[in-house]
Amino acid sequence: MLTDRELDRYSRQLLLPEFDIRGQEALAAASVLIVGLGGLGCPAAMYLAAAGVGRLLLADGDVVEASNLPRQLAHREARLGVNKAASAAVSLASLNSATQLEVIPRQLDDDTLPALVREVDLVIDASDNFAARFAVNRACIAAGVPLVCAAAIRLEGQLAVFDSARGGGCYRCLYPGGGDDSALSCSTSGVLGPVVGVLGALQALEALKCLTGLAEPLRDGLLVLDLRSLETRRLALPRRSDCPDCGN
């Protein structure tokens, strides 16, 4: 049961008839793993904490650098050199003290991801390399946990929700032959801060849909955004029978 203080705090989202008190209670009971607390993970984490998600697991092995600050808004100048997961936790704690935060100050891999993914209801993939994304994808398929993925570079981005337990493709169906990490490097190709902000916010939105049933998430499709022209495309993403991760 929500307290009077919670009813007041979350009043605007409680007004949504598809959300209501049941949606808020679902968020309070939910656990989400966020892999990467950079340009995508920061806004995603902040919106999920602000919305009242009960438990957030924050995983990142990198430290805050000055070049991160224009787009990774959970970090501050005073926390340069601090682990990103720990830095983000400080900001999130000040945003919503009711959200339980667990800091995982290391990179995750095929050995460490499965146990963590089995603990949560949903995973936000905000990592920045294919090895990490493929490992997260495999762990989510094995655990039957929905995965919300996004990527952004320059003025472009893409978003997808993979939920193999309910059918449809997975992240590896999108990149069956692997990928070239140099194509995803913000350090060489550049990116504008609001671009990752938009994509991270959309990840949070899709997560809230999955966790509460507020609306149908972006399953079985890939949303491609050109934020230079504000054009969007939604592409079908069926499961590949020869996918090395989810095929057959």
202-218 pLDDT, tens digit per residue, is 999 999 999 999 999 99
AA identity, residue 187: S
Confidence of residue 185 (pLDDT cuts 50, 70, 90): low
What CATH number should be reported for the domain holding residue 102? 3.40.50.720
**Is 47 within a domain?**
yes
Q: What is the pLDDT of residue 164?
A: 86
CA dihedral of 211, 94, 198, 212, whole degrees rounded to 10: 10
Non-local (6+) Cβ contacts of 194 within 8 A are 227
Please determine, for residue 138, whether its predicted confidence score (pLDDT) is greater than 60.
yes
Q: Please, what is the average pLDDT of the chain?
A: 94
**pLDDT, mean of residues 180-204:** 83
pLDDT of amino acid 207? 98
Measured CA to CA, the distance from residue 26 to residue 145 in angstroms comes to 16
The predicted pLDDT at position 97 comes to 97
60: amino acid identity, one letter: D
Q: Which of 12-21, 138-147, 237-246 has the lowest mean pLDDT?
A: 237-246
Of 109, 95, 103, 100, the closest CA to residue 138 belongs to 109
Whether residue 124 lies inside any domain: the answer is yes
Note the pTM of the prediction, 2 decimals. Answer: 0.95
Phi, psi for 74 (deg, rounded to 5) = -85, -10
Total count of domains within the chain: 1
Residue 245 lies in a domain: no
Q: Which domain holds residue 182?
A: 13-236
- Distance between CA atoms of residues 196 and 157, nearest Å: 8
Whether 58 maps to a domain, the answer reads yes
Does some domain include residue 21?
A: yes
Tokens of 40: 């995508």
The reply to whether 5 falls in a domain is no
pLDDT at 178 over 80: no
Per residue in 50-72, is it b (16+ CB within 10 Å) or e — as a string? bbbbbbbbbbbebbbeeebeebb
Does some domain include residue 246? Answer: no
Q: Longest C-alpha distance within the chain, in Å?
A: 53
Rounded to whole angstroms, the Cα distance separating 73 from 209 reads: 24
For strands 221-226 and 156-162, give the pairing: antiparallel
| pLDDT value for 166 | 86
What is the C-alpha R_g of the chain? 17
Inter-helix orientation angle 41-51/193-212, to 10°: 40
- Region 130-140 average pLDDT: 95
For residue 191, give both structure tokens: 């990116």
pLDDT for position 209: 97
Strand 147-153 and strand 122-125: the pairing is parallel
Predicted pLDDT of residue 199: 98
Q: Is residue 44 part of a domain?
A: yes
Residue 187 pLDDT grade (very low, low, confident, very high; cuts 50, 70, 90): low
Q: Is the pLDDT of residue 150 over 80?
A: yes
